[in-house]
Amino acid sequence: MLTLPRIESLFASHGTAYYGGEAISQTAHALQCAHLAEQAGEPEPLIVAALLHDVGHLMLAESSTTDMRHQEAAADALAELFGPGVTEPIRLHVAAKRYLCAVDASYFGTLSPASVHSLALQGGPYDAAQGAAFAAGPHADAAVRLRRYDDLAKVVDLPTPPLAHYLDMAARCARPAA
């Protein structure tokens, strides 16, 4: 289980590493993603999901695991701290990329080379049946919106609010017992 202090520690310890072949750090990517969601007027749980969608990469950096299922690792570790409004868009953000590639002919062309590479490792675009099953899920729309912020959150030196701003928001979204 992750706690807010542990999340902050993960960003401090591993957030300076470059984000998956992109020219920005893990932390810069997370902050940009959350900032884009906040600017779009998304509800706080989705903004927090945008911030934490790749925290699985930070967790896996500590274990030297190369498993490409960072979304599952993150969602599972965050499940005691947050409800499904945060965890399920995180769990589904890779599936959302596969879905968008299947249903939007122009989407694939917007992906960075690193994202195209990871798409292949993640199973490639969905087929029609997989896409329909994804779209029917209760958190599909939120996951697609998160995915679009994720794709845009790769701008070098883009100013954003600090991590503390979003951790305060995460504290408001946390389950009461957390």
Ordered by where they begin, the domains of the chain are 4-18+25-173 (1.10.3210.10)
pTM of the model: 0.93
What whole-number distance in Å separates Cα of residue 143 and Cα of residue 29? 17
Reference 17, options 54, 47, 72; nearest CA is 54
User: What does each of the 178 residues of the chain score in pLDDT, given as a tens digit?
Assistant: 799 999 999 999 989 888 777 789 999 999 999 999 999 999 999 999 999 999 988 888 776 555 557 888 899 999 999 999 999 999 999 999 999 999 998 999 998 888 898 899 889 999 999 999 999 999 999 999 999 999 999 999 999 999 999 999 999 999 986 4
Strands (E), the chain: none
Identify the residue whose tokens are 């099953």.
133
The torsion angles phi and psi of 54, rounded to 5 degrees, stand at -110, 15
